């Protein structure tokens, strides 16, 4: 089984995400307990920061939308568990929003280093702003990174999640700006016969997926 200790390079799309255990605001966290459903793991460089607080609030409000796509949310911040608890208490008391997904502590940046969010010799956590889309088998299907100054788009996270689920069986490709209910694109043909078979010179590589396909 892949673990953080055996991971030798940053995670890439198609990699199996290594198991790890840690403390979280919802008790002991074991990544293996989250297999079988989609999971979005999102990380923050610190608690009590403006952009991170806005994201945690927005994600907490969107939990039902992610649950409707059979996806759970898990946060990670390099601060300690007690800092996390104070942070979510402050959020609840000032906004009325309860943070019901776990937020993992990573004060030594061991998880951040294992996932490749920071380099082995990093002195700070500025680059720990990553989002990992993990499928039910524990395979990384997409990842995004963000600067300290710009927050994530929750609608885009939902759109990407829905698109990943829609194309997962290999039945089509999601085009630019795809939204649930839109047509997919047909996977391109890979023979000369297919490229020469139609009157439309682009149809072999760029065509909508028909309902009967």
**b vs e for 69-101, b when ≥16 Cβ sit within 10 Å of the residue's Cβ?**
eebbbbbbbbbebebbeebbeebeeeeeeebeb
- Distance CA(83)–CA(79), nearest Å, equals 6
Q: Note if 71 is an active site residue.
A: no
- Distance CA(210)–CA(19), nearest Å, equals 40
Give CA 172 to chain center in angstroms: 21
Q: Which of 7, 40, 52, 109 is catalytic?
A: 52
Are 4 and 134 in contact, with CB atoms under 8 Å apart? no
Looking at the DSSP assignment, which residues form a beta bridge with residue 28? 23
> Which residue numbers are catalytic?
52
């Amino acid at each position: 089984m892949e673990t953080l200790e055996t991971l030798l390079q940053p995670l890439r799309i198609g990699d199996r995400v290594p198991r790890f255990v840690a403390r979280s605001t919802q008790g002991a966290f074991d990544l293996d307990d989250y297999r079988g459903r989609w999971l979005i793991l999102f990380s923050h460089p610190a608690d009590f920061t403006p952009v991170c607080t806005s994201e945690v609030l927005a994600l907490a409000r969107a939990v039902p939308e992610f649950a409707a796509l059979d996806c759970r949310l898990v946060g990670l911040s390099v601060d300690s568990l007690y800092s996390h608890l104070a942070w979510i208490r402050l959020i609840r008391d000032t906004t009325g929003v309860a943070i019901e997904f776990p937020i993992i502590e990573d004060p030594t940046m061991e998880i951040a280093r294992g996932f490749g969010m920071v380099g082995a010799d990093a002195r700070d956590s500025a680059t720990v702003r990553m989002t990992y889309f993990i499928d039910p088998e524990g395979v990384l299907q997409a990842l995004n990174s963000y600067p300290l100054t710009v927050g994530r788009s929750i609608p885009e996270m939902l759109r990407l999640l829905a698109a990943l689920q829609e194309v997962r069986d290999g039945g089509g490709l999601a085009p630019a700006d795809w939204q649930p209910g839109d047509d997919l694109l047909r996977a391109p043909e890979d023979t000369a016969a297919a490229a020469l078979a139609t009157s439309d010179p682009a149809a072999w590589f760029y065509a909508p997926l028909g309902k009967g396909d």
